[in-house]
Structure formats: C-alpha cells, structure tokens
Amino acid sequence: MSQAGASSAPGHSLTFSDDLRRIADSVNACLDDLLPLPDGPEQRVVEAMRYSALDGGKRLRPYLSIASADLFDVPRVQALRTGAAVEMVHCYSLIHDDLPAMDNGDLRRGRPTCHKAFDEATAILAGDALLTQAFAVLSADATHPDGDTRVKIIAALADAAGAAGMVGGQMLDLMAEQSDLGEEDVERLQALKTGRLLAAPCRIGGLLGQADADALESLDSYGYCLGAAFQITDDLLDLEATESDLGKATGKDAAAGKATFVSLHGPERARDRAKTLVDQAVAALSRFGDAAEPLRSAAAFTVSRRS
C-alpha cells in the first residue's frame, strides 16, 4: 500500500469511474501545487498553463502511472508527481494540437481552447512551458530519491513525447492528409501519436518501483495494447458521440478524410479490434495477480468510455 494509505489507492471496491475521479482530485491538487502563479506580467503565461492543465480531463495517464506504481508499493507522492508530469505533457499536446496551424479547434474539454481564451502566441508559450515544467518536476528529488531512477524516468517520457513518439506521430498525421494510408501505417501513426503517451506512465510506474526487465516488458505490452484500444475508441467516438459528450468538435476525421481503423474497416470491426486489444492488455498483466485489478479496470474503461 502506498504512503497515502488505502483511502486514495486505486481500489477494488469502488466503481472504476469513482476511482478515476478520486485519483483525478489528487492529481488536480498536485498540478495546482506544481504550477504556482508568479508575480509580474509573465503571470499571463502561467494563467494559460493553469487554464489548460487544471480544469477538466479524465486524468487517465496519471491514473496509469499511479496504478502501475502501486504494483511495487511506491510512495504515492512519487507516483502523483510522475502522473502530473505526464499530464503536463498531455496538456501541452492538446494546446498545440488545437492551434490554427494544426487542428484549429475552438473547444477543448467543454471550454474555449487555450488560444481562443488567451491568444495564439500565449497558447504556444503555455504549451512550451508545460512541456518544460514536466521535466523540471521529474528531475526533483521529491520525484524519486535515486538520481539514476529519475534519469530513466526522464528518458522514458522524453522518448514517448518527442520525434520518436507523439511528435513523430503528429507529423505523420499531418502528412496523412495528402496520402492514402493502409492499416499498418494507421496502426503505426496511432501508436506514436496517442499510444506512446499512454504506455509511458505504465513503464514509469514500474521504473519508480525498480521493476525488473520482465515486469517492465509486461507493463510496456499492456500500455501498447491499451493505447491502441484507446485510439480506436477515440475514432469511434469522433464518429458516434456528440460535441457535448466529448467537450470538443466531432466528425473531424471523416471531414478531413483521415484514415483510421474505423474508416478502413467500419465501426463493428473497429469495436471488435478494440475489445481484442483490451483482452491482450489484460493478458499482459498476468504476472501481477490481483494487484493489477485497477489496471485491468482501466483497460476495460478505455473501450466503454463515452468521452
């Protein structure tokens, strides 16, 4: 059990949504602490960072970091800080993805996007500063007492977020508008763009707990399958959910003529594929026994979610 005790551990007795909400409250408090408002006119950029990082969002990535770290009895404060750092990177990607040069979105998490609420230049800076702040948080002693472990965690997040991960996936996504992608190309694009930042907190939870190579490999497999199931569900929601369910515009993939598993094979096969991936994610956790129940619930949630 973590230092914070049973009351805030991902648990077996609550429904997953209750559990996720409770963890989200702790993550929000941690982000609030990690993003204090400075004095002076530069306060504006921190206001924009707080606007995009503090309100809304399911906090699934921090949940994954906490539930993975709990497998190894990692102190809760460490898991929370790594979860908050991954969430900062996620929020930066959403701010930049919404910019006019990318998706040109007006609505995110049910509110005006960062560049609409502030202005484009401030939104770019807020994204940049959230990305940078994430690594500052990871580098601090409070994240883990062992420097080598902190470096491994920093490397894992940098690799997942950069050109070999999320940014590379976003580049492929932009180029895909001018080309016909097949199933393998779509799978690779989605693994990079979305999957890497969902798999990273699982690995990071293991790194916090000094997990051995086999355990890390199991967490990587789980994270990979969960990320793929999450993205297929995102594509299904883009087709089937309403703007008010999602808090952002829908129907964008079809309008842009984007290839997704759904556009290539239709919603029924996409749903089946997502369920198979959840089964594979769950199978990857067998070595962890009952302790991995929160991660199993998270995998099921990725395909049953409505937002």
Q: Which residues bind ligand GRG (CB under 6 A)?
A: 57-58, 60, 90, 93-94, 96-97, 102, 109, 166-167, 170, 193-194, 231, 234
**CB-count burial class (<10 Å; 0-12, 13-18, 19+) for 167:** middle
Number of other residues whose CB lies within 10 A of the CB of residue 283: 12
- Of 77 and 102, nearer to ligand GRG (C-beta) is 102
What is the closest distance, in whole angstroms, from the C-beta atom of residue 214 to ligand GRG in the complex?
A: 28
Q: Which of 286, 285, 260 has its CA nearest to residue 273?
A: 260
- Of 35 and 94, nearer to ligand GRG (C-beta) is 94
What is the closest distance, in whole angstroms, from the C-beta atom of residue 295 to ligand GRG in the complex?
A: 16
**Strand positions, DSSP E, 80-135:** 107-108, 111-112
Q: Which of 35, 18, 9, 144 has its CA nearest to residue 87?
A: 35
What is the closest distance, in whole angstroms, from the C-beta atom of residue 161 to ligand GRG in the complex?
A: 8
Residues 220, 10: Cα–Cα separation, whole Å: 20
Q: Which of 11, 108, 111, 109 has its CA nearest to residue 63?
A: 11
What is the closest distance, in whole angstroms, from the C-beta atom of residue 248 to ligand GRG in the complex?
A: 7
What is the closest distance, in whole angstroms, from the C-beta atom of residue 38 to ligand GRG in the complex?
A: 25
Report the DSSP pairing between strands 111-112 and 107-108: antiparallel
Residues facing 107 on adjacent strands: 112
- Of 216 and 295, nearer to ligand GRG (C-beta) is 295
- Of 143 and 194, nearer to ligand GRG (C-beta) is 194
b/e sequence 38-54, b meaning 16+ C-beta within 10 Å: eeeeeeebbbbbbbbbe
- Of 85 and 211, nearer to ligand GRG (C-beta) is 85
What is the closest distance, in whole angstroms, from the C-beta atom of residue 84 to ligand GRG in the complex?
A: 13
- Of 150 and 196, nearer to ligand GRG (C-beta) is 196
